[in-house]
Amino acid sequence: MENILREGSAKTPAVNFDSASGVLELKGRSIPENSVEFYKPLNDWIENYGANPKDKTIVDIKLEYFNTSSSKCILDLFKKLESLKTKGAEVLVNWYYEEDDEDMEEAGEDYQAIIKLPFNMIEVEEI
Partner 1 sequence: MSLKRIFKLYRTMEMEDIILSFNGIVTADFLASVLHLMETKMQSLDETSKRKKKVFNVLVECIQNLYHHIDDDISLQGKTKKEPRTALIMVVKNEQGFLIQTGNYIERELALELEERLIKINSLDKEQLRDYYQSVLCNGTVSDKGTAGLGMIDIARKSGNKLEYEFLDIDENHCFFSLNVKID
Note the residues at the interface with partner 1 (CB under 8 A). Answer: 10-11, 31-37, 64-65, 67-69, 71-73, 75, 98, 100-103, 106, 110, 113-114
Quote the least distance from Cβ 110 to partner 1, whole Å.
6
Quote the least distance from Cβ 66 to partner 1, whole Å.
9
41 vs 52, which CB is nearer to partner 1? 41
Quote the least distance from Cβ 26 to partner 1, whole Å.
17
7 vs 110, which CB is nearer to partner 1? 110
60 vs 105, which CB is nearer to partner 1? 105
Instruction: Say how many C-beta atoms besides its own lie within 10 A of residue 34's C-beta.
Output: 10
DSSP E strand boundaries for 7-124 = 14-18, 23-30, 56-66, 90-98, 119-124
Under a CB-based contact definition with an 8 Å cutoff, are residues 5 and 39 in contact?
no
Separation between Cα atoms, residue 92 and residue 90, nearest integer Å: 7
75 vs 92, which CB is nearer to partner 1? 75
Buried residues in 63-100 as b, exposed as e (16+ CB within 10 A): bbbbeebbeebbebbbebbeebeeeebebebbbbbeee
Quote the least distance from Cβ 39 to partner 1, whole Å.
9
